[in-house]
Structure 1
Amino acid sequence: MMTNLYHAEQQIYHVTNFHDLVATPFSGEMNAIGWMRTLRGDFGEIVHKVSLSGNITVIEEEELQALHLSEQGQLARETLLHDLQALTAYGASPVLNVIHHYDRDDSYPFFPTDVYSFHVDRSPVAVDTFLCTYYGDPSEILPNAQGEQKILIPEIRAELRKLYQGEEAGFESFLQEHFFDLHYQAKPDAAIINLGVGNLWRLAVDHPAGKVPPCLHRAPAEKSGLKRLLLIC
């Protein structure tokens, strides 16, 4: 257990404001920075008053502004608008979603590649992932030392080779083209880290200029039965 705590402390850095969230550089093993917050307001009211469409509904700023809300709902809306505007001013492209559930990937039963699997984000340019769960089950991360890239697990790699059925020289490209190389499996004694409700996180992404390992993260199983209110970019 002490090893698990050590890796978690090395990987995560906490800040108390937006400036430090975006300005603190990743370094060493540290690839997740969290602005830890206790938010005021009723975010569930917003979830219940938005017109939902399908499994995932995007809430546009105009719709958010037009909602008729109680005083507590208005406090929640102010926070959402502030976060959206701060991230936009920083140069990000935040999206606010109400999520009933994500689609499950059953294309390869032995290797799901949906967001419920621990994975890293990849980009051709230098960028970070920002996310905050305001309501519902929060996202989770996994210390890199406690995860194993699935394509390196012998039995999974053997199944992938059967699926590929091509020349050996193209196998690694096949893994990347189908995003198999982005996914990880937690080791048996792994300490999975819940990111909490209301905290705004910045996670390292796999990109050519990256100086730290990308952060392993996943969407949570919706155990509570609540719809999630999630900001992500």
Structure 2
Amino acid sequence: MEHGFSGYNYVEVVSSFSELIDLEMKGEVNAVCWHRNLTGDFSEIVSKLQLKEDLTEVSMGELSALQLSKEGSRAREIIISDFQCLSDYGASPSLNLIKTYQRDEELDFISTDVYSFHVDRSPIGTDTFLCTYFGAASEILANNEAEQKILIPEIREQLKALYDGPEVGFDTFLSEHFFDLHYQAKQEASTLSLGLGNLWRLATDSPEGKVLPSIHRAPQEKEGEYRLMMIC
């Protein structure tokens, strides 16, 4: 099976949905990839969907109502199948047509939007699933190639100045504003694109987590091109 994920010891590659959900993450592995070379015309689906907001959730009803060619219909069947598999598993998938995500421009020394490398936090033992069908693909990073932003001295000092409260409440402040979820890539870091068509399972920061959470980010969108992705 040809893929570009060999050599990344934190990624495990599988060949079916059942393997994707059943594989036990352990050691350094905190990302599982169901590697696929999908057929079908996903660009046709994107061209026929209506963008209502910068990020528009597309229902399966809206997707099913599109008049598509044979190749477009094949792409639609794949999306609906993925949606059904994830729903049957107990997840709550969302198909999103994306022009751009909202930018965090409130603070100039730290960003907490999805373009910043971050981990997902969950109060229950669940993972993040995502697949990019069209457009720029999401990216991940090895945990040892990133530094938590709140531990970078100059950022930490500015956060302390922003907090301006008793030391005992500082960590709670960082958590409540999600500062602790964000990371900065080290200079020698090697970012990995998740690619198109692959369905990924990424470890989250949860009470039941047995491995480090996966560090990932949304890509910069390509000029004039929307993204189509499923996430839950």
Shared fold, TM over 0.5:
yes
User: Does the alignment pair 1:161 with 2:169?
Assistant: no
User: Which amino acid is 1:13 matched to?
Assistant: E
Corresponding letter in the other structure for 2:63: L
Would the alpha carbon gap of residues 6 and 64 (structure 1) be closer, same or farther in structure 2, given more than 3 Å must change? closer
Aligned to 2:95: 96
Give the deviation of 1:75 after TM superposition. Answer: 0.4
Aligned AA (1:177): E
| Rounded Cα–Cα distance in structure 2 between residues aligned with 1:129 and 1:79 | 19
Instruction: In structure 2, give the amino acid aligned to 1:228.
Output: R
More helix by share: 1
Query: Taking structure 1 as reference, are residues 64 and 221 closer, same or farther at Cα in structure 2, changes over 3 Å only?
Result: same
Q: Please tell me whether the aligned partners of residues 14 and 35 of structure 1 are also in contact (alpha carbons under 8 angstroms).
A: yes
Cross-structure match for 1:201 = 200
Aligned AA (2:11):
I
CA distance in 2, matches of 1:8, 1:87: 28
Matches of 2:23 and 2:94, distance apart in 1: 23
Q: Does the Cα contact within 8 Å between 2:5 and 2:11 map onto a contact in 1?
A: no
2:139 matched to which residue of 1? 140
Whether the 8 Å CA contact 1:7–1:145 is kept in 2: the answer is: no
Structure 2 contact 135–222 (Cα < 8 Å) conserved: no
Return the alpha-carbon distance in structure 2 between the equivalents of residues 171 and 28 of structure 1.
31
The 3 A distance-change label for structure 1 pair 6 and 102 is: closer
Superposed displacement of residue 108, structure 1: 1.1
Structure 1 CA distance, aligned partners of 2:223 and 2:137? 10
8 Å Cα contact 1:136/1:224 also seen in 2:
no
Structure 2 CA distance for partners of 1:150 and 1:123, relative to 1, 3 Å: same
Q: How many residues align?
A: 229
Match of 2:9, SS? helix
User: In 2, are the aligned partners of 1:8 and 1:143 still within 8 Å (CA)?
Assistant: no
**When the two structures are superposed, what TM-score results if normalisation uses the length of structure 2?**
0.96
Alignment-derived partner of residue 60 in structure 2: 61
SS of alignment partner, residue 34 of structure 1: strand
Matched with 2:83 is 84
Aligned-partner Cα distance in 1 for 2:222–2:185: 19
1:1-233 equivalences under 5 Å are 9-233=8-232
Q: Tell me the TM-score normalised to structure 1 length.
A: 0.96
- CA distance 1:153–1:8, shift in 2 (3 Å): farther
Q: Deviations over 1:169-226 (max 9, x none)?
A: 1111100000000000000000000000000000000000100000000000113542
SS of the residue 1:226 aligns to: coil
- Distance in 2, matches of 1:179 and 1:156, equals 14
Q: Shift in Å at residue 109 of structure 1?
A: 1.3
Aligned-pair Cα RMSD in Å: 1.5
Structure 2 vs 1, CA of residues 154 and 8 (structure 1 numbering), >3 Å: closer, same or farther?
farther
After TM superposition, give the deviation of residue 10 of structure 1 in Å: 1.7
**Is the contact between residue 137 and residue 224 of structure 1 (CA under 8 Å) also seen in structure 2?**
no
Q: What SS does structure 2 have at the residue aligned with 1:159?
A: helix
- Segments of structure 1 that go 5 or more residues without pairing to the other structure are none
Offset from partner CA, 1:20-75 (integer Å, 9 cap, x none): 00000110010000011010111111111112101011110111111000111000
